[in-house]
Structure 1
Amino acid sequence: MAYNIPERYQDLTPAPQLDKKTLNKMVWLSCFLQASFNYERMQACGWLWGILPGLQKIHTNKEDLKASMAHNLDFLNTHPFLVTFVMGIVLSLEQNKAETSTIRSVRISAAGPLGGIGDALFWLTLVPITAGLTANIAMDGSILGAILFLVIFNVAQFAVRWWLMHWSYGLGTKAVTMLTSNAKEFTRAASILGIFVVGGLIANYGTTSLRIVVGDPAINIQGLLDGILPKLLPLLITLGIYALIKKGWTPVKCILLILVVGIVGCAFGIFAGDSKAMDAEGNTIPGGYTPLVEWYELPAEE
């Protein structure tokens, strides 16, 4: 028999404020939000697991606790790093023994906008910035680069989890109004910052260059392009991929296109490489490698 969730709790006396220890415990448990992810209710099981310590302290009446646990198993899909924002609001409503239908509605309305905000804040901003700071260390062959990336990223996202839990719990339903009224502006600002960071990474790490030389004396085509605008080729590739995506290409198709163009370009000696390739006598091969099809001759190294 299905359990019918009551509209109101039996004990309507507001519960005492939750202590910091309980709030901090729920911050840690929120890290397991997606541990029981499924396509029926998405993050519902992980959500209940994370918020359960607070519900147990709020609802001393067993029937009320059962009702609260039942409606907190409703469908939920939000950003995993910002889920404590929703937890704080819901806990505030549970503490004041609001109607279960009201709590369910607020939970959905608070969880929805966090997807776009979280993606812009973390995947488009924090990840590129952190990667930009640590990539050089990793490229030098040091494992410290990978360790620093993981430490910086996880410390930042956990600090956000902790702050949002305490802040939203203190504000209660006012936090929902603040979120919905400023979500569009915040997402746009974070996205713009992320685009600037990604653009800086393209200019800094975009190493695609031409290997071609023509004429006698030899003219280096890449040198001519650098005279017009350094890193021009990575910029054109980025703009080209952007144009294809705007026309409806999927990211997978774009990746395959780059892969095919890269392989064909290297086979015909179009793109430069720095593979440190050497001939049989141990001399560095000009251009980094010997292409399959040699249709021009590189000048000998002096």
Structure 2
Amino acid sequence: MVSNVNTYKDLTPARPLDRATLNKMVWRSLFLQASFNYERMQAAGWLYGILPGLEKIHTNKEDLSASMSHNLEFFNTHPFLVTFVMGIVLSLEQQKADIPTIRAVRVAAMGPLGGIGDAIFWFTLLPITAGITANMALEGNIIAPFLFLVVFNVVQFAVRYWLMYWSYDLGTTAIEVLTRNAKEFTHAASMLGVFVVGALTCNYGATTIRIALQNGESVIDVQGILDGVLPQLVPLSLTLMVYFLIKKKGWSTIKCIGLLLVIGIIGAAFGIWGGNYTPLVEWYTLPA
């Protein structure tokens, strides 16, 4: 849907939006992807989110209709950072800027947020909070899963609120401020995420091989040989295998989990994996 109207009839700047309206739109931003589709992506959720602000800005029904029409066009951005775009667009709507300008700014603002949001939330915040709380859970702390949910959601809610007020106050200047060092910031956050994922793989995906082969009077410890080549080589290999299957072969995470489960069961049955258990088939010599 493309609006044929380029300017609003009432060009008088509207009064600034109150905090209650801004807060209401922050909460509505949670439903950004509620009606996601492959024609307009998040457009319906986007319009639902900013509608309270548009209704206060445009008292003229024809202007409100034109605003709703162009805000129902294709829209797609990171769901946790959408309030950044909301604040900028609402600032322009309040000033009664021409519709092509608002449309262009909306598209320009939503573009960079995908990489930035992924770097902040999926590559940094999620693995860090999951790693810390997973360690607590392994130690028997029942609070761990609840703490994970609280920390992750408190951070993303704080970001939503801050971005709404910050971008609304700055207007289009916020785009320049955000994108000035966006590439460097995204790269740094992604590198941090890689280190965190590597540490989690080492600590919580640690798998050892307990095979010990008899060679005359001596015993060859396979795990010791692997550690001499590269410590934690087995979990690294399994992680790279899963990455290859997902990235190159298009496997789903469910299929990868199923494959790892099969590998684990077969390995345990033949006593390949380390641990204190009795294998079904014991075909090697355990080290003394």
Q: TM-score, normalised by structure 1?
A: 0.84
Unaligned runs of 5+ in 1: 274-286
**Shift of residue 27, structure 1, vs aligned partner:** 0.9
- Name 1:278's counterpart in structure 2: none
User: Partner of 1:77: helix, strand, or coil?
Assistant: coil
User: Partner of 1:135: helix, strand, or coil?
Assistant: helix
- Name 1:116's counterpart in structure 2: 115
**Shift of residue 298, structure 1, vs aligned partner:** 3.0
Match status 1:289 vs 2:278: yes
- Name 2:286's counterpart in structure 1: 298
**Shift of residue 299, structure 1, vs aligned partner:** 5.7
Q: State the AA in 2 paired with 1:134.
A: T
**Shift of residue 240, structure 1, vs aligned partner:** 5.5
Q: State the AA in 1 paired with 2:157.
A: F
C-alpha distance in structure 2 between counterparts of 1:30 and 1:245, whole Å: 31
**Cα shift readout 1:21-80 (whole Å, capped 9, x = no counterpart):** 211111111111111222221111111111111111111111111111111111111110
User: Partner of 2:164: helix, strand, or coil?
Assistant: helix
Match status 1:235 vs 2:232: no
> 1:148-297, aligned counterparts within 5 Å?
148-215=147-214, 216=217, 218-226=219-227, 230-239=231-240, 248-252=248-252, 255=256, 258-259=260-261, 261-273=263-275, 287-291=276-280, 293-297=281-285
C-alpha distance in structure 1 between counterparts of 2:184 and 2:133, whole Å: 29
Residues 32/150 of structure 1: CA separation in 2 closer, same or farther (3 Å cut): same
Match status 1:100 vs 2:102: no
C-alpha distance in structure 2 between counterparts of 1:258 and 1:239, whole Å: 12
**Shift of residue 218, structure 1, vs aligned partner:** 4.3
How many residue pairs were aligned? Answer: 284
C-alpha distance in structure 2 between counterparts of 1:267 and 1:20, whole Å: 62
Residues 35/244 of structure 1: CA separation in 2 closer, same or farther (3 Å cut): closer
C-alpha distance in structure 2 between counterparts of 1:43 and 1:78, whole Å: 8
Unaligned runs of 5+ in 2: none
Q: State the AA in 1 paired with 2:284.
A: Y
C-alpha distance in structure 1 between counterparts of 2:31 and 2:78, whole Å: 12
C-alpha distance in structure 2 between counterparts of 1:207 and 1:190, whole Å: 25
C-alpha distance in structure 1 between counterparts of 2:267 and 2:174, whole Å: 54
**Shift of residue 121, structure 1, vs aligned partner:** 1.0
Match status 1:73 vs 2:61: no
C-alpha distance in structure 2 between counterparts of 1:290 and 1:267, whole Å: 5
* Contact 2:2 2:70 (C-alpha < 8 Å) held by counterparts: no
Percent same amino acid among aligned pairs?
65
User: Partner of 1:272: helix, strand, or coil?
Assistant: coil
C-alpha distance in structure 2 between counterparts of 1:244 and 1:51, whole Å: 40
C-alpha distance in structure 2 between counterparts of 1:269 and 1:37, whole Å: 48
Residues 299/128 of structure 1: CA separation in 2 closer, same or farther (3 Å cut): same
**What is the root-mean-square deviation in Å for CA atoms of aligned residues?**
2.5
Q: TM-score, normalised by structure 2?
A: 0.88
